[in-house]
Structure 1
Amino acid sequence: MPDKHPGGGLSVAKDSAYTAILSDTYSTEAPGLIRYFKQRMRDDEDANDLMQEAFARLAAHMRTKILVHPASYLQRIARNLLVDRMRSARRAAATIGPTLDELPEIGAAPEQSFGIERQDVMRLYKAAVDGLPEQTRQVFLMHRVDNLTYREIGEKLGIAVPTVQYHLGRALARIAQALDD
């Protein structure tokens, strides 16, 4: 246990060791800690604030006990700070409720626009299926509508299973392209 001043701090000898360890830890760990927080935070100022808070907590802990591996302890502090920040943000969001941007528009019922979009997609889908070459369309419909296996389709049409797979892949690619266009 380190020697303590009557006021509760470290002795003078331990105080200089504390300062040196903290200074070394700051110079080696601060850049990485800033990167760690920036990757997980939206605001660079928040990342800087969290880095300073992490070192303040480390310094407060080291006033009472010199750590052999302060970087490991600092990483744990950083993770805990992020968890605390995320919990606070969730609580605040739950308390406030949705923002105006998150609320649906009142002017038009979404069901109506979904119905129109569904009709457009179905029209494009039907046109794409109708535009497939005869055998490709036949394989596609047998598989999707009649729920036949590749082997059953091959037996009915007199073609090999790899040929069935080829036609089905070709149909799916053309339909996907038609829907994307």
Structure 2
Amino acid sequence: MPNNVTPLSTTQQINQLFRSYKVDLVRNLRGIFGSGPPDPEDLVQEAFSKLLTHKDVDNIQHPKAYLTRAAVNMGLNHCTKYKQTELFIDGALESAGETLVTVDSPEDIYSLNQRVSSVSDAMNELSDKQREIVIRSRIHGETYEQIRNNTGWSLADISRQLKSAISVLADASASEES
């Protein structure tokens, strides 16, 4: 590097990369994920946020590829969590004896809203701790070990709380059938 050229700060580098690659990244992600969810523009923002935490931006040889891979991975993670959430809700509805909606008639939409409301009401019956464990375990797919590391709760307590929460949810779905 010539002596009269001042190196760019990391923030300046990232701003320059953002201006250079944002449009292409959004277009590529839109080709992969459509309009969303996950939203392609949000994924690009998250990828640049991740780049901000990178210790040595100067040593990334292909920043566009790095950003693309980061955004695609985040999008795939979002899709996985979305699918897990869908499966959890479908399972809760099935255990309540509800059939799943497959046609978008007004009656079906109303019925789905009622069922989602009953699952929500049952979740609201849980303690904050139980609700957090259910969400972390069943929706976000975290293991007991991950929950323990993130919360500091013991594995035995996590197991007890989850069993208790499932019991509350099962009781709520049983009373819904009556």
Q: For the superposition of Structure 1 and Structure 2, which TM-score range results when normalised by the shorter chain?
A: 0.3 to 0.5
Give the TM-score of the pair, scaled to structure 1. Answer: 0.42
Give the TM-score of the pair, scaled to structure 2. Answer: 0.42
Of structures 1 and 2, the one with the larger relative CO (CA 8 A, separation 6+) is: 2
